[in-house]
Amino acid sequence: MQLGVWGFAGAFLGALALSAALTPLALRVALARGALDVPGEHKSHTSPVPYFGGLAIAAAFTLAVAVAAVIRPPVNVEEILVILGVALALSVLGLLDDLRGLGPLVRLLAQTGAGLAVWAVGAGTVFAPWPWLNLLITVVWIVGVTNAINLLDNMDGLSAGIAGIAAVAFFGIAAVNGQFLVAGLAAALAGCAFGFLRHNFHPAKIYMGDAGSMFLGFLLAVVGIRLRLVETPQVLSVFVPVLVLGVAILDTTLVTVDRIRYGHNPLRGGRDHVSHRLIAIGLPVRAAVALIYAAGISLGWLAALLSRLDLTSGLMLVGFVLAAGVFAFALLATVPVYENSRQRRRMMRLVDESDDGGAA
């Protein structure tokens, strides 16, 4: 899908306009059908909010990619069809989970199947010397990133904003390195995420739900693993998508480790994410989300820089980012989100003003 500058701009703007236009329609349908995210013990919002935002995201992306493919037919049609088909299947599964609650095992099996499909169509990782290891890495990456974006959907505008920022970073890196298929997919992905964000930023009018977060997470995982940086030292190219998605990876790692550490079920939702901890230390909701956006933008720039560095300089940059990540992890882990403390009570009060259905 070699679109060129105007083609990429068209994919982005088309997806942006479609997503912004379809989201109010999804909101009305959700209200008519009573598809609402109802407040609960592990959720932060205090009144029902409509679902179905994820369907608008999926529809916008699909239409934008379809139009781009008609204008400039891609070489690897089968790969695009499989990726799009799997993404839509995960979105439907996410919608069923939103409405009925399918449980983590069903989602895990579906995401594993998605990883196998990515591998089968030739879009998986290729850097390891053994095919079985490449297969394992592909599946773990697809499952991990899909869940990380899903877990990040815990406050108004957070998951959509970070997904859009990551997609822009992937677009820039891919375009500079001649990866036009990846660049085209990333441009459309950024457009549909930002188009939805207009309706999802605090205070949110609609939630994307699992239908949207699984769709975005899977496609970001595919874009990241499909990136081929032939001019970048191989050991550095592995870290480029990790940096782009570093915010989501840090958040998932933090809540998983802390939930196990404090005896909580890591698969059960809670108000213990990075965003909740920032609120607990005194930041307003919008400031907390903006700070996380800033971290995502910074990591995107560092990933782009990493893709252009030599091995020695690149390893130094990776070491610096990893050290900063460990420091941030340790600092955030000190925020009391499980104990019955003054900070905990303040967080509970303030986070009631936020959230995107939250408690992943």
For residue 170, give every residue at least 6 positions away whose Cβ sits within 8 Å of its Cβ, in sequence order, or none: 182, 183, 186, 189, 220, 223, 224, 227, 241, 244
What's the alpha-carbon Rg for the chain, to the nearest Å? 19
How far apart, in whole angstroms, are the C-alpha atoms of residue 1 and residue 283? 43
CB 83 within 8 A of CB 219: yes
Hey, what amino acid is at 103? G
- Is 134 annotated in a binding site? The answer is no
Neighbouring-strand partners of residue 237? none
CB 347 within 8 A of CB 276: yes
How far apart, in whole angstroms, are the C-alpha atoms of residue 60 and residue 54? 10
CB 196 within 8 A of CB 53: yes
How far apart, in whole angstroms, are the C-alpha atoms of residue 332 and residue 334? 5
CB 52 within 8 A of CB 210: no
For residue 166, give every residue at least 6 positions away whose Cβ sits within 8 Å of its Cβ, in sequence order, or none: 220, 244, 245, 248, 296, 300
Residue 202 parent element (H or E): none
Which sign, positive or negative, has the C-alpha torsion 103, 226, 273, 61? negative
- Is 150 annotated in a binding site? The answer is yes
3-state secondary structure of 50: strand
Q: In the chain, what is the greatest distance between 2 CA atoms, to the nearest angstrom?
A: 59
Hey, how many other C-beta atoms are within 10 angstroms of the C-beta on 340?
7
Q: Could you tell me the two tokens for 309?
A: 């560095």
How far apart, in whole angstroms, are the C-alpha atoms of residue 196 and residue 349? 27
Among 12, 215, 114, 338, smallest CA distance to 123 is for 114
Instruction: List binding-site positions.
Output: 150, 210
Residues of the binding site for Mg(2+): 150, 210
